[in-house]
Amino acid sequence: MRIGIDACTWANRRGYGRFTRMLVSTMIAEYPEHQFVLVLDSHTAAEGEFPKGAQLKVVETNVQPTQAASADGARSPADLWKLSRAVSRLRFDAFVFPTSYSFYPLFCKTPTVVVFHDAIAEQHPKLIFPGLRSRLFWKLKNWLALRRANRLVTVSEDARAHLAAVFRRPASAIQVISEGPDPCFQPLDVTQSGPPILEKYGLPTDVPLILYVGGISPHKNLQGLLGALARIERSAWHLVLVGDYAKDSFFGCYDEVLSLSRSLGLVSRVTFTGYVPDANLVILYNLATMLVLPSFGEGFGLPVIEAMACGLPVAASNRNSLPEIIGEAGLLFDPLSHAEVGGAIERLLNDESLRSELRNKGRERAKLFSWTTGARKLVSILEEAATGADTP
């Protein structure tokens, strides 16, 4: 089977970029009998490293599509036409958009699968798209994607339920493929590798590290996390915020978080690392005392699985997919309650036996999630779509 893949988000540093890279790389490794063609813009092609066995169709574009992934209207119609025309000419048996963020209209009859990662933009529109123009573009793109897709896919049962409500489709019309940890995330002896990483990012060596990994965006609730930490300022801790805070098409709040840390008197206890490559991130996961994910919503929550795979205890929001992913292997809290967030953090700071229990449970829980399972499910969905199934 000849499978086309939108790879315009290949170089993206957010979760859907990793989703694209890991899922596609695994599909190529698992199914050598199929032909996989990555359709991508010239900017992404120049930045990315691609798996052996992948064929590339590079389209010359003026703008890198992933820089406008949130449909803020910056994408060039001419560029979208070039990408769409390339797909039409390549005559695939099936085509997949690994994320709806980079969807563009197709004017061919190729069976198409679209992955919608969550309904957070619909649940928290002002946090994701504060501008009306961006919100309207997002709605238009989703409408076009829904009309075009022969198969709808998401990444958790919770996301499926919310998307079904938003799209007014039966939940059975949306299939779920799970994400997983990159194999690089595992327990490590950081006796030698740890000190250079602490020095590189300017982190203390004598206090517990509270790690956050993700976007610096309003729906991630970092202001709430700081408010909770202010309640336990007498405890020994240092907050490490790992995430790319360069301006992209998502509405960011780096300045607001930094300002709040100053007003709360916590600025000396908070470090913004910016983007951290995996080789360093796995060491941070092994150095930290806990991962905290206080989001108002997640479609899946990859940092949770990555942390658990490394044996790092997790405390996370009880919203959306996170209880589904964490199960009994971590602590859950109401992200709107500073008392609950702070209480969960204090429990992990002060209770070594609890940390040990969650380390063991987390490692076992992480084994239930794999990119191989997700890749096999997606190929099965693509094969079904290629038989000529109607749009759900």
Average pLDDT (337-341) is 98
Assign 245 a pLDDT band (cuts: 50, 70, 90).
confident
pLDDT in tens, 19-34: 999 999 999 999 999 9
Which domain covers residue 302, as residue numbers? 194-366
Per-residue confidence band for 305, with pLDDT thresholds at 50, 70 and 90: very high
Question: 85 and 203 share a domain?
Answer: no
**Does the structure show a pLDDT above 70 at 391?**
no
221 lies in some domain: yes
> Looking at this protein, which amino acid is placed at residue 125?
P
The pLDDT confidence band at residue 248, using thresholds 50, 70 and 90, is low
Angle (CA) 90-386-18 rounded to 5° is 75
Indicate if 334 and 207 belong to the same structural domain.
yes
Residue 150 is predicted with a pLDDT of: 95
Lowest mean per-residue pLDDT among 41-45, 109-113, 324-328: 41-45
pLDDT for res 92:
97
> What is the per-residue burial (b if ≥16 Cβ within 10 Å, else e) of 26-56?
bbbeebeebbbbbbbbebbbeebebeeebee
The CATH number of residue 333's host domain is 3.40.50.2000
- Looking at residue 118, its pLDDT comes to 94
Answer yes or no: do 266 and 240 share one domain. yes
The rounded percent of the chain whose pLDDT value lies above 70 is 95
Side-by-side strand order, sheet with 331-333: 270-274, 238-242, 209-213, 290-293, 314-317, 331-333
Q: What is the mean pLDDT of residues 276-298?
A: 98
pLDDT at residue 76, rounded to an integer = 81
Q: Would you say residue 4 has pLDDT above 90?
A: yes
Q: Are residues 260 and 308 in the same domain?
A: yes
Residue 187 lies in a domain: no
Question: What is the reported pTM?
Answer: 0.94
Q: What is the pLDDT of residue 133?
A: 79
- Structure tokens given for 374: 């997700």
Same structural domain, 40 and 102: yes
Give residue 382's identity as a one-letter amino acid code: L
Residue 186 lies in a domain: no
Tell which wins on pLDDT, 125 or 110. 110
Specify whether 88 is located in the same domain as 201: no
Number of domains in the chain: 2
Q: How far is CA 38 from CA 5, 21, 45, 100, 377, in A?
A: 5, 11, 10, 16, 19
Asked if residue 267 is part of any domain, the answer here is: yes
Place of tokens 């930290």: 288
**Amino acid in the structure at residue 159:** A
345 shares a domain with 379: no
Q: Are residues 91 and 168 in the same domain?
A: yes
Residue 262 inside a domain? The answer is: yes
> Does residue 389 have a pLDDT over 80?
no
**DSSP SS3 for 293:** strand
Asked if 165 and 304 sit in the same domain, the reply is no
| Same domain, yes or no: 176 and 289 | no
More confident call, 129 vs 258: 258
Alpha carbons 224 and 218: distance in angstroms, whole number: 10
Give the residue with greater pLDDT, 76 vs 195. 195
How sure is the predictor about 69, in pLDDT bands with cuts at 50, 70 and 90?
Answer: very low
Q: Share the mean pLDDT of the chain.
A: 93
Give pLDDT, residue 65: 67
From CA 25, how far away is CA 41, in angstroms rounded?
Answer: 18
- Whether the per-residue pLDDT at 40 is higher than 60: the answer is yes
Residue 201 and residue 127 share a domain = no
Provide the b/e sequence for 275-295 (b: ≥16 CB within 10 Å).
ebeeebbbbbbbbbbbbbbbb
User: Residue 332: inside a domain, yes or no?
Assistant: yes
